[in-house]
Amino acid sequence: MKWQFLPNLLFIVLAVFYMHETLSVEEIHSVYEDRHSAKYVFLKVKGVTTILLLGYAVYTEYWQIKARRRKYFKSFWNWVDLVNLSLTFLITIVTLLEVDWVSIESLRILAAFASCLLFVNIYDWLRLFESTAFYVTLVQETLQEARWFMLLVLVALVVFGMPMSMLALNRTDNPKKSLVGNYTDW
């Protein structure tokens, strides 16, 4: 099982870098404007390699589902794996084939979730190693114990956030404009 860590780590890193590089432009087609450039070839190779590593991950998940049947779907980490694989497949295929039936804005949102889940998936893999297993368990237990406190924080945010958004609607200059600037306004 530990030997599967490296191919999956390579898949995660390559998929995140591929998604970031292809989705950091205004349109999908602008990434691939110059089809004779080294960047174009490199992106295509990265995309195909991501698909190959994705195929390996799907193969691994298939055998896990076949072996565990219904028990497979009772684990949170297995659901994370399935969502990861689905989102990564969608994003990679859409960008590789240069189709635009999914908008670049939607792809970026999906890629944000996918990359977050891909990195969260590393926590699952780190449970396999003796030197990190204790710390992963410690983080899991801490988050599990803090969930009721987080619920109180969420309620507090809603309690103060909703009235502020209602008051913001009464602004005369531009009700849609944010009350606070963004972090890039110096």
Amino acid 151: pLDDT? 92
How many C-beta neighbours within 10 Å does residue 85 have?
A: 21
What is the rounded distance in angstroms from the CA atom of residue 131 to the CA atom of residue 48?
34
What is the rounded distance in angstroms from the CA atom of residue 2 to the CA atom of residue 126?
9
Amino acid residing at 12: I
Amino acid 14: pLDDT? 83
**Average pLDDT per block of 10 residues along the chain, 186 residues long:** 74 84 68 69 85 88 88 86 90 84 84 88 82 89 90 92 77 61 53
What is the rounded distance in angstroms from the CA atom of residue 75 to the CA atom of residue 83?
13
Amino acid 159: pLDDT? 92
Which of the 8 DSSP states describes residue 100?
-
Q: Phi and psi dihedrals of 24, rounded to 5?
A: -90, 20
How many C-beta neighbours within 10 Å does residue 67 have?
A: 9
Amino acid 161: pLDDT? 83
Amino acid 152: pLDDT? 93
Amino acid 180: pLDDT? 58
Evaluate if pTM is beyond 0.75. no
How far is Cα of residue 139 from the mean position of the Cα atoms in its chain? Answer: 20
Structure tokens at 121: 């998936």
Amino acid 186: pLDDT? 46
What is the rounded distance in angstroms from the CA atom of residue 136 to the CA atom of residue 122?
10
What is the rounded distance in angstroms from the CA atom of residue 91 to the CA atom of residue 94?
5
Amino acid 178: pLDDT? 60
Amino acid 154: pLDDT? 92
Rounded (to 5) percent helix, strand, coil in the chain: 80, 0, 20
